[in-house]
Structure formats: structure tokens, C-alpha cells
A and B are shown apart, each in its own frame.
Chain A
């Protein structure tokens, strides 16, 4: 854009370092399905082919004038199962659902109480591939290898396409918090019963999974050369659990993970869905600048900013409802409010709350980008 003094990458990293920028950096969480919607492709097609998913994301990036860093989204739901990211049964458009449906996870008690100690003994990857994956899918070892190869191949092309556009991916390495993974595997109700009535095996599993996560993800994140990685949690906040649970099963392991990554100079991007208002003060215990909080519109980002002003960068949080059913002027006004109140002293990346919704109004998506482009950081 004419008159801009920083590249997208410079702008992004200035925001992460809590410095002022020439304008606010923009990173929409544009995954395959909303990209397909904006590019005129069916959800079934991108759910079956991650190369097409990448094409859709790049097409939207180009059609809408680009932004500062691209959120990785070129994967299929089956590839997420194959790579131990989504440990649940999945229903896929074109296979289990009509072509115009979103792919969706099925909440079931797959993990059994005795499995916690098996995870502690085998490690999460050993347990997942030797036993658990067969409970949630019919993927054979050959299928898993083929899906991971397709994932890797497309990520290589993603990197090349990013270079052509003079931007970088927002992150490459990613992992889910062990607490979240276990809740998905066991179901929220079953996992909650275990936390209250049989906590020791859960704690042993979380301890082992935390060690596994650090050991596996730090080398991958370093290899990516990006300096960031994504850490997802959607079920541990003070909306779901009291401080006693949070302080015993979530916070110490989170701190351990962030400290381990930060000791290597790597920044953690927390993807935190649902209401975290009660938990925000805990994040002051993490080193300044070591993390980004990516919020989904349910947490009060304006109040959170006041608690963590000058300590952490925020990413978000244009609500999915606003992007899908409001008017462009409403979206623009909300983005301006974000820029003025959350981005006033830097430390802010404008984006969607969680993912851009897959029925996003094109005019609303454009309004979000334009509000960011016109705003000083």
C-alpha cells in the first residue's frame, strides 16, 4: 500500500514486540472453508483436497489485496486426524455430510479412564498411533503416511507462494494444550468427572503430554524459522472451571511450555476460545513479549488489554457473528474501536475472532481489511 513504511513482516514483529507500527498489522484467520466460500468453491472440495484449500486461500489473499501474514489453513479434516491434531471422530462434507456443510467434530467418550495411564507410559504419539486413531477413523498406516505427505507437500508450496507475495506464514508449528486434547478425547462431561473424582491419572497424563509437546514442537518451530507457534485451548477457561482446577491442571503446564519456548526465543500464540476474563491476570506471570493472545470475541478484549497493557500482544477479535450477519459499517466501526483501544500503544494484530466464519459476507471481510489498512498502529 502506498505510503506504508514497513513490510508486513516488520509490522507484524513490531506488534509482537509491543512496538508502534506504521499501521496496525492484519492477519485474518482465513481457513479453508471460509476461503472456499469467498472463492466460490464448495466446502466438500476443500475438505477433500488440501491443495485446493491452499488455492482458495491464496485466491482470496490476492483478490482482496493481501494482508501482512497468512494464517496456515491448507489441511483437510482427515489430515488433522492423521497428524494427531484433532483426536475426535469427524464428519466430512462430500463424504458424511452434504457438500455445503462444514466439517464437524463429534463429541463422544472415546478415551476411557484406564487410558490416562497408558498415555503416561507410552507418550501421546505412541498411544495415538498404536491404539487411539483406530477408534476414531479407519485410516491405515499407509493412509496416514499419504495424508502427512500431502500435508507436507502443500506446506512447501505454501511457503513458496508466501515468498512470491513477500509475506510469511503467521506460524507453522502448532499444538493443542494437553488439557484440551484430553477433553476432546474423553468428552467434556467425562473429562470433567475425571478431574473431580479421579484426578491423579489425568494429572500424570498431562505431565507426560506436556513433556512430549515441548520435546516435539520446539525443534519443529525452530526449523520453521518463523519464531512463532500456535498453542490452542478452548475448554479450560474460568467459564468452564474454577481457579482450583485451572491452577492445578492447566496453568503450571502452560507456564512450563511457554517458558521452554521462550528460552529458545520462540513466541507462543495462544488461541483461546470462550470466556477467559477471569484468567487473564495469570498471564502477567509469563515473560513480557513471550506470547500473543488470540481471542474469539467472547473474552472482553478491551478489559484484557488493560490488564496486559505493555506486556503482551493481542490478536483478534472481530466476532464471527459480526462478520456473518452484520453490515460492513458495523464491522468497520468495531475494527476501528479495536485499533483505537487495543492497538493505541502497539501490541495489536487485527484479525477475526477464532476463524473467519464460513458464511462470511464478502463486504464484511473487505470492511475488516480496509479498517486495518487505514489505521495507524
Chain B
């Protein structure tokens, strides 16, 4: 049964995934187990993407299916059992940039892989992002950019994290089509990518996940 749910997700069979989820919950199956089976499907999708057999389109579609399935499952999880995240991640687009496509894809993928994600939104002042890191005790903070004017604000956010004594406890990720390893060094980030799934893999690896 669980194999079937993950296979359906891998095949991007949206209607069948949602019907299966509803059917299994209807037989009073443990909702956490159903959720984990969906996550197994996302892991398979991620593996195919990393092998080059899947493309961003399939990542997006599978994550959208997962989001719909999770919306059915999560109200049935008790509060205590819902707290099973792999880590806390803040993701935002910093001041000067209001693009949100890449940010939203990363957030959906991170959630589908079991991370608790807070969306900081777009056009976020670096000081606000740092304050949110402090409040949330996040393990990761990710800054997305489509335009190069975001780079100085990423750098400022890292400087403010250092000044607040927070830099050692949070990993800083940057991403977006205009970022490069050189920009990572300029900003002082720990990780850079133009590929959302690489960002998920970095978070998984850092937290000891698969």
C-alpha cells in the first residue's frame, strides 16, 4: 500500500494520490504513516532529479501534489505528532527584489521533504530577516535573488547576523539564476545554488538526513 502511494506520486498521478490518501485515512490508518509515504515519494522524485531523469517541471508538479496531500493529512495529526520536522528554515527575497518564483519553489520542496519553513516574503530588509532568525532559532536561512541588486543586501544580512552573534548557529544559503560561487564568497554565505533541489539536498545533508 505504502509503495503504491509513493509510486503514484512518482508518476505524478495527482488524482490517484489524493484518492489514495483519503481512502487510507478513511480506514483510520495512522496519518503520520500516510504522510511519511508521501515523503518517500518525494524522496524518489528527488533522486530521479539528481540523476538527471527528472526536470524542474516534475519537481514542481510532485511538490504541488504533495502540498495538496499534506493539506488533507495534517489536520488529522495531533499537535505533538505534527512536530516532527527535520529542521527550521527561513526563506525570503531581500530588499530591492520582489520576485518570488524561485523562493516559492524552494519552500514547497523543503516542506515536502519534512522541513518547517517560514516564508519571510519579498522585499525584506536585512535587519528584519536577522530579527526573524533570532526569534525562530532557525537552522537555515535562505535568500533568493533574480537580480544582482540583492547581493549587497545579502551581504549586509550576513554582517548583521555576525554582529548579533547568530552566525555560528545558522547556515546561510543563497540561490537564484544570477548567483555564482563568487557571489557566495562576496556575501559570506555557506552555500549557493541555482537549483532548488540542491538547496533541499544541502539542508538534508546538514541535518543528517538522506
Interface residues of A (CB under 8 A from B): 91, 97, 100-102, 104-107, 188-189, 192-193, 195-197, 238-242, 245, 273-275, 296, 298, 319-326, 357-359
With A104-B97, A298-B177, A326-B182 given, is the CB distance from A192 to B60 under 8 Å? yes
With A107-B100, A358-B149 given, is the CB distance from A192 to B57 under 8 Å? yes
Smallest Cβ distance from A295 to chain B, in angstroms? Answer: 12
Does B55 lie within 8 Å of A193, measured CB to CB? no
Inside 8 A of A357's CB, which chain B residues have their CB? 147-149, 178
With A101-B96, A242-B55, A274-B177 given, is the CB distance from A321 to B183 under 8 Å? yes
**Additional 17 contacts, C-beta under 8 A, given A104-B147, A275-B194, A298-B194:** A102-B147, A104-B98, A104-B99, A107-B99, A107-B101, A193-B64, A196-B12, A240-B55, A240-B57, A298-B177, A319-B178, A320-B178, A321-B151, A324-B148, A325-B151, A358-B148, A359-B152
Task: Flag whether B40 is at the interface (Cβ < 8 A).
Answer: no
Task: Flag whether B132 is at the interface (Cβ < 8 A).
Answer: no
Task: Flag whether B58 is at the interface (Cβ < 8 A).
Answer: yes
Task: Flag whether B77 is at the interface (Cβ < 8 A).
Answer: no
Task: Flag whether B56 is at the interface (Cβ < 8 A).
Answer: yes
CB < 8 Å: which of A101, A104, A107, A240 contacts B56?
A: A240
Distance in angstroms between the alpha carbons of A193 and B194 in the assembled complex = 22
Inside 8 A of B64's CB, which chain A residues have their CB? 189, 193
CB < 8 Å: which of B56, B96, B97, B178 contacts A239?
A: B56
Query: In chain B, residues 4-44, which have Cβ atoms closer than 8 Å to a Cβ of chain A?
Result: 12, 14
Inside 8 A of B179's CB, which chain A residues have their CB? 321
Inside 8 A of A274's CB, which chain B residues have their CB? 177
Does A322 lie within 8 Å of B182, measured CB to CB? yes
Inside 8 A of B152's CB, which chain A residues have their CB? 359
Distance in angstroms between the alpha carbons of A49 and B12 in the assembled complex = 47
- 26 A-B pairs within 8 Å (CB atoms) are namely A101-B149, A104-B99, A105-B99, A107-B99, A107-B101, A188-B101, A192-B61, A193-B61, A196-B57, A239-B55, A240-B55, A242-B54, A245-B57, A274-B177, A296-B177, A320-B178, A321-B182, A322-B180, A322-B182, A324-B151, A325-B182, A325-B186, A357-B148, A357-B149, A358-B148, A359-B149
CB < 8 Å: which of B14, B55, B147 contacts A241?
A: B55
Does B60 lie within 8 Å of A188, measured CB to CB? yes
Does A241 lie within 8 Å of B96, measured CB to CB? no
Does B98 lie within 8 Å of A91, measured CB to CB? yes
Distance in angstroms between the alpha carbons of A102 and B97 in the assembled complex = 8
Distance in angstroms between the alpha carbons of A275 and B198 in the assembled complex = 15
Q: Which of A195, A238, A325 has the most CB of B within 10 A?
A: A325
Inside 8 A of A358's CB, which chain B residues have their CB? 147-149
Smallest Cβ distance from B25 to chain A, in angstroms? Answer: 24
CB < 8 Å: which of A192, A238, A321 contacts B180?
A: A321
Inside 8 A of A97's CB, which chain B residues have their CB? 98
Distance in angstroms between the alpha carbons of A197 and B64 in the assembled complex = 13
CB-CB nearest in chain B for A105: B99
With A107-B99, A188-B101, A238-B55 given, is the CB distance from A196 to B151 under 8 Å? no
Inside 8 A of A197's CB, which chain B residues have their CB? 14
Query: In chain B, residues 92-111, which have Cβ atoms closer than 8 Å to a Cβ of chain A?
Result: 96-101
- List of 10 A-B pairs having minimum Cβ-Cβ separation, nearest first: A357-B148, A324-B148, A321-B180, A325-B186, A240-B56, A242-B55, A107-B101, A192-B57, A321-B183, A241-B57
CB < 8 Å: which of A91, A189, A273, A323 contacts B60?
A: A189
Smallest Cβ distance from A297 to chain B, in angstroms? Answer: 8
Q: Which of A240, A324, A326, A357 has the most CB of B within 10 A?
A: A324
Inside 8 A of B55's CB, which chain A residues have their CB? 238-242
Inside 8 A of A275's CB, which chain B residues have their CB? 194
CB-CB nearest in chain A for B145: A321
Inside 8 A of B14's CB, which chain A residues have their CB? 197
